Amino acid sequence: MGVAKRTRKFATVKRIIGKRQREEQSTAPENLRRKEEALEKKKKADDLIREVPQMPSSMFFEHNTALVPPYQVLVDTNFLSRTVGAKLPLLETAMDCLYASCNIIITSCVMAELEKLGPKYRVALMIARDERWTRLTCDHAGTYADDCIVDRIQKHRIYIVATNDRDLKRRIRKVPGVPIMSCSKGKYAIERLPGAPAT
């Protein structure tokens, strides 16, 4: 008869408290007190109103009275490329969507983005270089068009922004009184413009 093998029972093994755990247990009340103090400071900071942004005088609740024909349409890079893909004339389709005359505005940031994108977007670049569109020069550093457009619409709420970019749309929706035009299903659609037909 052989010797029976003894297996170690894991549940009965004593748990040894390490040095770090002892330190954590001794400082637990202090950590709790620090958290409570931080919460109180945050509540006090939330109660203070440091600066309320001045709303433009043209805003009447959510309705922007500064938007009148001829509409100023600020065009983004991907809107131009989507228009080229759908083979739509830019000005005529925008006028059909808005039922009014409009001025197409292209910033120098959008032009720089189109030039950077290379030969794949050469048709969109040709459309952007058309003499009929108004060109706005940017005075900021860098060529990121989304920041440029958001900054411009926050300063002057006289623009309709034409874009298909989801992130840019999300940022624009936070600014009241700025309609968004997008290209989908072979036509342009407008959102948040009072009196616009539902598409």
- Ordered by where they begin, the domains of the chain are 64-191 (3.40.50.1010)
Instruction: Output the pLDDT for position 48.
Output: 63
Strands 180-184 and 63-64: unpaired
Instruction: Say if pTM beats, i.e. exceeds, 0.85.
Output: no
What is the 3-state secondary structure of 122-170? HHHHHHHCCCCCEEECCCCCCCCHHHHHHHHHHHCCCEEEECCCHHHHH
The answer, yes or no, to whether residue 32 has pLDDT greater than 90, is no
Residue 80 — pLDDT band, cuts 50, 70, 90?
Answer: very high
Residue type, 116: K
Residue 198 — pLDDT band, cuts 50, 70, 90?
Answer: low
CA distance 129 to 112: 11
